[in-house]
């Protein structure tokens, strides 16, 4: 029979995954990914906010575009958090934790024009792409090709959202 004290000690032990990454890599990559995760939740909620509050003659198209983008953004949250856990880190635990880490600003305005919504989301997605590239650099520093590979796909998805937001917001002459 197992020793109850040993069992209790194991329950409290840190996750020690066998990734080949050292403690510094786990700390730095997890920290960068957690900031990305907080930004992802902030961008998701802002995109849904604008989706819910869209108005005007292009309502249907813009409402659907933002819903599609929000779904894509939300889909990455689990992958980011699970990657943090796979490399032995811990991830965000609450809305308050997200608020402390997020770099994408909230928009609590009572009314935002559709054009301003699109421009703000375009700029936020550009910031997200820059943050993704910075995190890719951290992964490169520690030769974490698995995380870097995931990030490359997220950069492509983010750049596609930027492109759609830019083209949708263009004024026709």
Q: pLDDT of 48-75, one tens digit each?
A: 999 999 999 999 999 999 999 999 999 9
Handedness of CA 63, 69, 162, 40 (dihedral sign): positive
Kindly state the tokens that stand for 172. Answer: 């026709």
Among 65, 76, 64, 59, which residue's Cα sits nearest to residue 147? 76
pLDDT of residue 129: 98
pLDDT band at 173 (very low <50, low <70, confident <90, very high): very low
pLDDT of residue 4: 77
| Average confidence (pLDDT) over 130-151 | 98
So where are the chain's domains?
21-169
**Which pTM does this prediction carry?**
0.89
pLDDT of residue 24: 95
pLDDT band at 5 (very low <50, low <70, confident <90, very high): confident
- Domain 21-169 CATH (choose: 1.20.1260.10, 1.10.357.10, 3.40.50.620, 1.20.210.10): 1.20.1260.10
CA separation for the pair 146, 141 (Å, rounded): 13
Residues written for the chain = 173
CA separation for the pair 92, 40 (Å, rounded): 12
C-alpha distances (whole Å) from 61 to each of 51, 97, 164 are 10, 34, 12
Q: Is the pLDDT of residue 144 over 80?
A: yes
pLDDT of residue 136: 98
CA separation for the pair 68, 51 (Å, rounded): 10
Residues 6+ apart with CB under 8 A from 113: 56
CA separation for the pair 73, 41 (Å, rounded): 8
Residues 6+ apart with CB under 8 A from 139: 29, 145, 147, 148, 151
pLDDT of residue 13: 58
Q: 18-27, 53-62, 88-97: lowest mean pLDDT where?
A: 18-27
Q: Taking all residues of the chain, what is their mean pLDDT, rounded to a whole number?
A: 93
Terminal C-alpha separation, the chain: 80
CA separation for the pair 66, 153 (Å, rounded): 20
């Amino acid at each position: 029979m197992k020793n109850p004290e040993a069992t209790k000690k194991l329950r409290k032990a840190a996750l020690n995954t066998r990734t080949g990454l050292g403690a510094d890599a786990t700390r730095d990559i997890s920290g960068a990914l957690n900031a990305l995760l907080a930004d992802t939740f902030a961008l998701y909620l802002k995109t849904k906010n604008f989706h819910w509050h869209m108005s005007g003659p292009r309502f249907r198209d813009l409402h659907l575009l933002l819903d599609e983008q929000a779904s894509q953004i939300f889909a990455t949250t689990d992958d980011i958090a699970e990657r943090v856990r796979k490399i032995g880190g811990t991830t965000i635990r609450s809305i308050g934790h997200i608020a402390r880490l997020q770099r994408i600003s909230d928009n609590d305005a009572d009314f935002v024009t559709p054009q301003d919504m699109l421009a703000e989301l375009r700029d936020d997605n550009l910031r997200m792409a820059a943050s993704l590239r910075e995190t890719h650099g951290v992964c490169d520093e520690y030769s974490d090709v698995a995380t870097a590979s995931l990030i490359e796909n997220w950069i492509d998805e983010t750049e596609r959202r930027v492109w759609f937001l830019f083209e949708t917001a263009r004024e026709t002459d």
